[in-house]
Amino acid sequence: MKKEFFISKREQLMKNIEDGSIVLLFAGRAPYKSADETYSFTPNRNFYYLTGIDRENMILMLHKRSDKTFQTLFIEKNDPQMARWVGEKISEEDAGEISGVEDIKYLEDFEGAFGFLFSRFKYDNLYLDLERAELNIPMTKSQEFAKLAKEKYPFLNIKNIYHDICEMRTIKSEEEIENIREAIKITEEGVYKLMDNMKPGMMEYEIEAYFDFVLTSHGVTDKAFKTIAASGKNAAILHYSDNNCQTKDGELMQFDLGAQYKYYNGDISRAIPLNGKFTERQKEIYNVVLKTNKAITSMTKPGVTFTQLNTKAKELLAEGCKELGLIKEDSGLFKYYFHSIGHQLGMDTHDVGIGDELKPGMVLTNEPGLYIPEEGIGIRIEDDLLVTEDGCEVLTKNMIREVHEIEEYMAKNNKYLK
């Protein structure tokens, strides 16, 4: 995306921040793994959303006084000797060109610059990204800095900027939607490659490898999430990702997978018969899930809530389970369906979002499913939807979903079934 996107997002963020406030965002660092190894680095999404830079160990400082906003980006200084081992650090010129921040300084100058603000001006508030999903996960750099700042500057009001940025990220711009479209396009190509090459007897990870090849051939360096390639009864485990079992004739393969393109994600789920043909029972279950998927797509429009979508999905799935002979009362549905109908999608696969009501520009998933371990069947059909002014657009419309479409595609394109 162009630097104007990041400039506009910083301006939007600071409009509602009161005078006498400082905002700090940290890019993060790659976590330690073992010996001299680290895990792959991925930037803090809110830092990236405001800068467009995916290098580690950087700080964005925004501050506001007299209704004027000031911006500084602190980057690592290049070390020529280390550059021979790990490559050069980003230059001041490139950092400025990518982010649109004009004042670029080195990290070694941060403490002095931060302290200078308090020695010359009156700042009362410090905003940090204090996202915390669970009580006992490790402290982030922002959380550690909040503790230090409160100790050194006890008069400061420490505030959380996380939800403010989440609210901004809820509605996607055209540039963001284009990145999601590309992630979905690559994902769809990967799913078709799986369908072209899968056959009974293969290991789940062998089939998964065809998807990985497509992503790599498009320059994708990270997936939206760990691929689910679950055969038979493994498909009844919602987040199964071991992918280490041998497949069998007559089984379904449940795929849940996604490519990540420029830090925006696709997310598709499909259930595919390994031998190219659904059994009658598999077809019955599949069509109950598909009916629900279609109904939720038809309901999705501005003003509708996630709660309403969830309620409708449960009604339809419960009705279907009664017809399938699985339950007698609606209350029994939880045994076979135990998750939400979907989630928002964007820079995170389970993307941030504020509010229950759908609005134009939101991107969400539609993923009803039924999981029947006693029959060795798990089926989830997931599409990605863009909420428009008067309805929704199915972004995954090029990924076939009807039983006859899947069987016809497999018969025509799978080289092992010809």
Mean pLDDT throughout 78-96? 94
Tell me, what's the pLDDT at 349? 97
Q: In this structure, are residues 274 and 248 in contact, taking their beta carbons and an 8 Å threshold?
A: yes
Residue 218 clears pLDDT 90, i.e. is over it:
yes
CA distances from 24 to 59, 73, 348 (A): 7, 10, 21
Tell me, what's the pLDDT at 106? 98
* Cα–Cα distance for residue pair 362/388, rounded to 1 Å: 8
Residue 418 clears pLDDT 80, i.e. is over it:
no
Q: Give the pLDDT band of residue 201 (cuts 50, 70, 90).
A: very high
Tell me, what's the pLDDT at 99? 98
The yes/no answer on whether domain 3-169 falls in CATH 3.40.350.10 is yes
Q: What's the pLDDT tens digit per position in 292-351?
A: 999 999 999 999 999 999 999 999 999 999 999 999 999 999 999 999 999 999 999 999
CA 306 to chain centre: 18
Residue 415 clears pLDDT 90, i.e. is over it:
no
* Cα–Cα distance for residue pair 381/185, rounded to 1 Å: 17
* Cα–Cα distance for residue pair 153/146, rounded to 1 Å: 10
Q: What's the pLDDT tens digit per position in 102-148?
A: 999 999 999 999 999 999 999 999 999 999 878 888 889 999 999 99
Mean pLDDT throughout 20-30? 97
Domain with CATH 3.40.350.10 in the chain: 3-169
Kindly state the DSSP code that residue 201 receives in the 8-state scheme. Answer: T
Contacts of 217 (CB under 8 A, 6+ apart): none
Q: Let me know if 167 is exposed, middle or buried by CB neighbors in 10 A (0-12, 13-18, 19+).
A: middle
Kindly report which listed range (256-265, 304-313, 351-360) carries the lowest average pLDDT score: 351-360
Tell me, what's the pLDDT at 378? 98
Tell me, what's the pLDDT at 135? 85
Mean pLDDT of the chain: 96
**Which pTM value belongs to this model?**
0.96
HSE (CB half, 13 Å, CA atoms) of 109? 14
Among candidate residues 78, 76, 87, 100, the one with its CA nearest the CA of residue 27: 76
- DSSP-H helix ranges across 36-160: 45-51, 80-86, 92-99, 110-120, 141-152
Domain with CATH 3.90.230.10 in the chain: 171-413
Tell me, what's the pLDDT at 127? 98
Tell me, what's the pLDDT at 393? 98
Q: Give the pLDDT band of residue 261 (cuts 50, 70, 90).
A: very high
Mean pLDDT throughout 217-223? 95
Residue 353 clears pLDDT 90, i.e. is over it:
no
Q: Give the pLDDT band of residue 357 (cuts 50, 70, 90).
A: very high
The yes/no answer on whether domain 171-413 falls in CATH 3.40.50.1820 is no
Q: What percent of the chain has pLDDT over 90?
A: 95
Residue 221 tokens, joined? 């360096």
Mean pLDDT throughout 398-405? 98
Q: Give the pLDDT band of residue 387 (cuts 50, 70, 90).
A: very high
Among candidate residues 178, 197, 194, 186, the one with its CA nearest the CA of residue 221: 186
Mean pLDDT throughout 233-238? 97
Mean pLDDT throughout 255-283? 98
